[in-house]
Structure 1
Amino acid sequence: MNNFQKNYWSMYLDFIRDFEALSFQGYSLPYLCHLPSYILPNTSLLQNLKRAEYSKNIKNEITSQKQFQQVFNHFIQNHTKKTVKKAQGKVVIHMDKLLRFPTSVIMGHFDHKRTILLTNGKLSGNKAIPNANSVRVNKKARAVPLTNTINVKQVKVKNNHPTNYKVKQKMVTLSLESYEKNIEANISLVQKEAIKLLNKYKDHHLYGHNTFRKWLLNNLKVVMIQIDATRRFLKHIAVSCVIVSTTHSYINRILAIVAASKGIPTICMQHGIIASELGYLPKIAAIDAVYGQYEKDWFINNGAPKGSVEVIGHPRFDQISQQSNVPQRLFQSKLGLDPKKKTVMFAVRGQEDVDQWRKLIQFLSQKLDINIVIKNYPSRSPHQLTKEFPNVYSTMHYPLYDIFANVDAVIAYPSTVGLEALISKKPVFILDKDANGNTNYYQGLDDLIHKNPKILAHQVYRYFSSPVDKKRIDATHQTFLDNAYATEKRSIDRLLKLIQRLTR
């Protein structure tokens, strides 16, 4: 572990221990408050955590990620009841912007009578109360007003983030918000206890800041509301399994823990490559459904219990094998590309590392007469570099997989795009960068990943100009992919088989 990792995980453990006594309905709240949401946006704090001397501020010492994971393993075990299989129970899919299940997968592969789509915001569309045929209700539970959406046009969630679903067929959709009750008295009591602790730590390097104080008091409130709503939901509906996108959302973390306390297994899908450990540790769900053997080994090596990680892939990647409906001539014409030239796609994240990308364009253009198209994420606007070079174009409105079908190579920052391009059988090169908690995911690509844009440009040149190098690079890609993603079976088939095993 480097200085940052030691200080980060040690400080996280300090937070848990210092506020462990704050609890609600039997759950210690700091485990469910997502501390990284306060740390990661704080650039000055992040810089301080990289200094070895910062450890003098910290009481607990974490020397490995496994050590920190075991703290959460103990917490999860204390809240886990033996799984009670419910063959007739509902499979609940928590819909948020990271799950990214294609609508066709949900509507085409999940049993409409056994599946509930769950959101954490208000629903729009046609509304009705579910009947006995659509939702299996625990009759002993107190009735809670529900919202069932048929032919949903769009589901809106809190903070005005639309989900990535547009459900066009009949499937029950519920909102956790419908289960929220007034628990202000409980919240006030816990916040008063928190204030006593904060006053005790008024000179603390982290807790002494007013911004932290506001963050903690607000987090305690939203976490308590979510715990109460989740408990009501799981008491009212007979649930056999819960699917979430990540347990680094406090909503999903609470879903997983409360479900475990009722003997309900949770499957956490992998929402992107593990480029940084900060978005994947600690592991919370009963089963993490990962892309490939790389992630399975990584989780186990970092303290995940045996049997809690399975290679599933992701249903959205199943679409990669489908033939694009965008003819190459149309693609080239719409973007203004020269059809006589090779086309290389850049996956760029806004203004991050823009000078490095600019240098890469310059070096690559000196060596090869090519079209360069830029996929700008998360913005849909053309990237500024498309205005600086005559051979650089925007990918416009085209979806990622249609772009893959019409380019000859892909260059990306360390992101999931690189893996998706490899699954699409496209040659991939990675412009590397430093990141907090970096896992070096793409190091298996050997010399096809580099921080130096000049060296990386030379590798791309060799791929297109030397048959010998092309053969070697193709072999490197295949070796990497064999460990990174299992393609011999569809992910949705693996997932449905896992659900069946957990519920029947």
Structure 2
Amino acid sequence: MEAEDFSNDRQKYVLQKEMIQPYFDKWLRDPELTHTDEVEAGKVLINSDYTRIPETCYKTLFDPNQTVILSRSAKNHLFGIPVETLKKYEETNELISDQLVRNAQSLFRNKHDHPVFSNEYFQQTFLKRIPLIVKTISTVCNFFEHLNISAIVVGTTEDMVSRVLAIVGSMRGIKSICLQHGILMGEEAFLPVFTDQVAVYGEYEKKWYLDRGLFPERIAEIGHPKYDEIFTHIRGKGTPFYRRFNLDPAKYTLLVITGPNIDPVKFTELIKNILDHSEYQLIIKPHPWEIGKGKCEIYLDLEKKYQGIKVFTSRENYLYELISHVDGVAATLSTVVLESILFDKPVFIYNFIESNREYDYFAQLGELVQSDPKQLTEIIGNYYKSDEYKKMYDEIRINYLADSYNGGSSGEKLIQLINRLNV
């Protein structure tokens, strides 16, 4: 779609930003398809994929007698709450799938001049997915026939199961909530909104959705329960931490958070610039995607080259321990920036992402966001050498958090929201 020759007539297919959600709502909230009558009081269904609700929240806030966790786990219970899996409700409906594939092929034949629907790759991808879409819809319908559910919580609607839970739920009058699974980095991961409510981290997200045509009454200002643990996290002793990573407690320790599609030249330059100053040492934590795909060579090579670098590639849930012990965090555009700020740690953001668009999510942090490795290194130095600069950072942090809904009680706010929807 980025190619110059994508379409000479593309403008007639372009939606204005404020029309994105209303365009989809013509179908998603069609009165003929949605159930408006009150549903019988039932249980709360939580799709465990992507919701990232912490164990403490499950155990202290959710009633096991009124909650069901949808999971791929073979266990009967998680955190004392009953578990269901879609596997035992699966239905394929091959005849329906075959007919829909033929219908789609017929429609595509009449779209030979359309910039997207005429595209061979798009057509083949869509046709291959139809059987899975039909299977998922049929399975979820069967699932709701067997369980009395009156509220659904999902962590994203970017995945097919969560979308279908929301859509089929709406057809049955079941209210749904979508938690925010990460920072807003692109419309395709967050729009359209399929659920009755979308929970947001703060004012930035609220305005972002309003600008794209979502009605304000569908925006839930609750933050995210996964951040509640930050406010109760017990800070460990420093010595075992430094011993684990073979670090020098006399130096400033920076946690470096990476991510996919980072400019390797700029990243390497930043690391070199920081370590040119002997008072720093670094723990580099690659993104889980990079670890899973074996894309950590650049970091492991740096570890071999510099004595002051340790690379943490363990899959254990150790992030909050890392943040709580270090002196500061250097991160790409990531939720770890928000988590570090909530931990009251200084953050230094390198915007080295190789992307087809600009992201302004952390624009409020001003010069703490840099695309130049040299400038960011200077800012790091200023913070640790100047009390005045530290004071300036504290003001930026306070102003940033003023627009955040994450204050340690998001789990309670989620329960309150579910109760309001179930009234």
Residue among 74, 77, 100 paired with 1:124? 74
Matched with 1:133 is none
Matched, 1:66 2:18: yes
The letter of the residue matching 1:230 is V
Q: Deviations over 1:342-376 (max 9, x none)?
A: 11110012673222221111222234621111111
Q: Does the CA-based 8 Å contact 1:346-1:372 persist in structure 2?
A: yes
**How far 1:211 sits from its partner (Å)?**
3.5
Matched with 2:34 is 80
Matched with 1:343 is 253
Matched with 1:369 is 279
Matched with 1:416 is 335
Go from structure 1 to structure 2 and tell me whether the alpha carbon gap of 1:183 and 1:201 turns closer, same or farther (over 3 Å shift). same
Matched, 1:450 2:379: no
Question: SS where residue 242 of structure 1 aligns?
Answer: strand
Q: After superposing the two structures, state which structure 1 stretch, 195-204 or 235-244, moved more.
A: 195-204
Go from structure 1 to structure 2 and tell me whether the alpha carbon gap of 1:486 and 1:172 turns closer, same or farther (over 3 Å shift). closer
Matched, 1:503 2:422: yes
Residue among 148, 152, 157 paired with 1:247? 157
The letter of the residue matching 2:311 is S
Go from structure 1 to structure 2 and tell me whether the alpha carbon gap of 1:485 and 1:360 turns closer, same or farther (over 3 Å shift). farther
Q: Does the CA-based 8 Å contact 1:275-1:438 persist in structure 2?
A: no
Matched with 2:380 is 460
Go from structure 1 to structure 2 and tell me whether the alpha carbon gap of 1:91 and 1:334 turns closer, same or farther (over 3 Å shift). same
Q: Does the CA-based 8 Å contact 1:85-1:502 persist in structure 2?
A: no
Go from structure 1 to structure 2 and tell me whether the alpha carbon gap of 1:437 and 1:282 turns closer, same or farther (over 3 Å shift). farther
Matched, 1:304 2:250: no
**How far 1:311 sits from its partner (Å)?**
1.2
Q: Deviations over 1:186-223 (max 9, x none)?
A: 11111111122233445765444543333111211111
Matched with 2:309 is 392
Residue among 194, 197, 202 paired with 1:287? 197
Q: Does the CA-based 8 Å contact 2:255-2:328 persist in structure 1?
A: yes
Q: Does the CA-based 8 Å contact 2:223-2:404 persist in structure 1?
A: no
**How far 1:115 sits from its partner (Å)?**
0.6
Q: Does the CA-based 8 Å contact 1:276-1:436 persist in structure 2?
A: no
Tell me the distance in 1 between the aligned counterparts of 2:90 and 2:9: 39
Go from structure 1 to structure 2 and tell me whether the alpha carbon gap of 1:181 and 1:276 turns closer, same or farther (over 3 Å shift). closer
Q: After superposing the two structures, state which structure 1 stretch, 432-441 or 264-273, moved more.
A: 432-441
The letter of the residue matching 1:80 is T
Give 1:63-212 correspondences, 5 Å limit.
63-78=15-30, 79-82=33-36, 84=38, 86-87=40-41, 89-96=42-49, 98-119=50-71, 121=72, 123-125=73-75, 149-150=76-77, 167-169=78-80, 171-201=81-111, 205-212=115-122
Question: SS where residue 215 of structure 2 aligns?
Answer: coil
**How far 1:230 sits from its partner (Å)?**
1.6
Q: Does the CA-based 8 Å contact 1:429-1:449 persist in structure 2?
A: yes
Go from structure 1 to structure 2 and tell me whether the alpha carbon gap of 1:418 and 1:290 turns closer, same or farther (over 3 Å shift). same
Q: Does the CA-based 8 Å contact 2:262-2:354 persist in structure 1?
A: no
In structure 2, runs of 5+ residues without a counterpart are none
TM-score, length of structure 2 as denominator length: 0.90
Question: SS where residue 284 of structure 2 aligns?
Answer: strand
Q: Does the CA-based 8 Å contact 2:348-2:376 persist in structure 1?
A: yes
Q: Does the CA-based 8 Å contact 1:347-1:417 persist in structure 2?
A: yes
The letter of the residue matching 1:418 is V
Tell me the distance in 2 between the aligned counterparts of 1:339 and 1:67: 54
Q: Deviations over 1:132-152 (max 9, x none)?
A: xxxxxxxxxxxxxxxxx24xx
Question: SS where residue 349 of structure 1 aligns?
Answer: coil
Report 1 or 2 for greater relative contact order, CA contacts < 8 Å, sequence distance ≥ 6. Answer: 2
Tell me the distance in 1 between the aligned counterparts of 2:129 and 2:313: 39
Tell me the distance in 1 between the aligned counterparts of 2:158 and 2:358: 17
Matched with 2:6 is 54
Q: Does the CA-based 8 Å contact 1:269-1:290 persist in structure 2?
A: yes
Q: Does the CA-based 8 Å contact 1:102-1:315 persist in structure 2?
A: yes
Matched with 2:404 is 484
Q: Deviations over 1:281-324 (max 9, x none)?
A: 22221000111122112111211012000111111111112234
The letter of the residue matching 1:81 is H
Tell me the distance in 2 between the aligned counterparts of 1:253 and 1:108: 28
Question: SS where residue 124 of structure 1 aligns?
Answer: coil
Tell me the distance in 1 between the aligned counterparts of 2:12 and 2:85: 39
Tell me the distance in 2 between the aligned counterparts of 1:435 and 1:99: 27
Q: Does the CA-based 8 Å contact 1:344-1:411 persist in structure 2?
A: yes
**How far 1:236 sits from its partner (Å)?**
2.5
Tell me the distance in 1 between the aligned counterparts of 2:357 and 2:23: 19
Q: Does the CA-based 8 Å contact 1:277-1:437 persist in structure 2?
A: no
TM-score, length of structure 1 as denominator length: 0.77
Q: Does the CA-based 8 Å contact 1:83-1:265 persist in structure 2?
A: no
Matched with 1:404 is 323
The letter of the residue matching 2:43 is K
Matched with 2:129 is 219
**How far 1:177 sits from its partner (Å)?**
2.7
